């Protein structure tokens, strides 16, 4: 329970369906840091107070568990290391796999619970023929969060419950108001919950002690056309923030970590017909043994594209 409308309604629905529900909020920071100064973090005192109040309203037991060490190791260290490599990580995916359906599921099982339920907009299915659990998109296409859950194992999917999977966000708020849930009009969380003020580079410097060095922006031929503020400020495909006057809009087309350079080019240069993907989780099947057609997207809310495995 994050203190928001989605997890609050999920708990209320399950209670009404006859489940024995226990509310849990995990703390991402050491207790002395988890205060008002982390106003955007979903584990701050205000969020915990809201979640505890909702739990009391719907009549369920409520706990706050400290996962600060695990969160730092699994999520924050990963986030920082990937940016320093010139990559663009999605820490929500790691948090779901390692914390919410990892450490939290272990804690819940230790308390005698069978499953972990969240307010994610996604659905779980089961294929009797293959004996495998399936991860399906939420009904609300604009809010679907299955993308952030793709790395869950069969064991984790089998222990997951998503009560809001068939709802739209509008219906969630309407039902929460009807159920008299005090968080029915709480603003939705946005972006990365643990980075204050969305200043990734300063955050990484603070957490790692590694300085962020400016460097050159070059074109495809290696000609210097500008300066960048530091590698963590940029991601492939980025257009804004380059500060370069050119006859066409320029985008980040590549990042050269060793030379501390950003390569920029026109839109035509960022369009690719293929990519290399790793850490795949097929979910519906254990593995694939030959070419297969897929619908793919490279980041959340991007349109899907037809693709196939060619090797």
Which residues participate in catalysis according to the annotation? 95, 193
Using DSSP bridges, classify how beta strands 224-228 and 305-308 pair: parallel, antiparallel or unpaired.
unpaired
Output the DSSP codes for 188-247: PP-S-TTSGGG-HHHHHHHHH------EEEE-TTS-EEEEES-GGG--TT--TT-----S
Neighbouring residues of 296: CB distance < 8 A, sequence distance ≥ 6? 304, 305, 306, 307
Q: Can you list the positions of beta strands (E) in the chain?
A: 22-27, 61-66, 116-117, 122-127, 132-137, 160-161, 215-218, 224-228, 251-256, 261-265, 293-296, 305-308
| Calpha distance 151→100 (Å, rounded) | 12
| Calpha distance 175→184 (Å, rounded) | 8
| Calpha distance 49→44 (Å, rounded) | 9
What is the rounded radius of gyration, in angstroms, for the C-alpha atoms of the chain? 22
* 109 within 8 A of 256, measured Cβ to Cβ: no
């Amino acid at each position: 329970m994050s203190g928001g409308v989605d997890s609050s309604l999920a708990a209320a629905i399950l209670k009404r369906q006859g489940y024995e529900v226990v509310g849990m909020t995990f703390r991402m920071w050491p207790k002395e840091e988890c205060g008002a100064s982390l106003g955007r973090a979903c584990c701050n005192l205000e969020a915990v107070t809201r979640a505890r109040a909702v739990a009391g309203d719907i009549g369920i037991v409520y706990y706050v568990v400290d996962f600060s060490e695990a969160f730092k190791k699994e999520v924050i260290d990963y986030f920082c290391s990937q940016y320093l490599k010139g990559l663009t990580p999605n820490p929500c995916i790691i948090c779901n796999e390692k914390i919410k359906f990892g450490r939290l599921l272990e804690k819940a099982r230790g308390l005698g619970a069978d499953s972990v339920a969240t307010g994610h907009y996604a659905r779980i299915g089961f294929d009797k023929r293959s004996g495998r659990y399936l991860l399906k998109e939420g009904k609300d296409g604009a809010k679907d969060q299955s993308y952030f859950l793709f790395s869950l194992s069969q064991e984790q999917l089998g222990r997951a419950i998503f009560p809001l999977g068939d709802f739209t966000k509008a219906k969630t708020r309407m039902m929460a108001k009807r159920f008299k849930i005090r968080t029915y009009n709480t603003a939705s969380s946005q972006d990365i919950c643990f980075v204050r003020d969305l200043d990734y580079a300063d955050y990484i410097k603070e957490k790692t002690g590694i300085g962020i060095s400016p460097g050159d922006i070059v074109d495809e031929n290696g000609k210097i056309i500008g300066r960048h503020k530091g590698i963590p400020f940029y991601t492939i495909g980025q257009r804004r923030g380059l500060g370069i006057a050119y006859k066409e809009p320029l985008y980040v087309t590549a990042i050269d970590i060793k030379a501390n350079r950003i390569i920029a080019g026109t839109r035509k240069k960022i369009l690719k017909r293929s990519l290399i993907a790793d850490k795949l989780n097929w979910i519906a099947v254990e593995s694939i043994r030959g070419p297969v057609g897929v619908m793919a997207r490279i980041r959340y809310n991007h349109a899907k594209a037809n693709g196939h495995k060619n090797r």
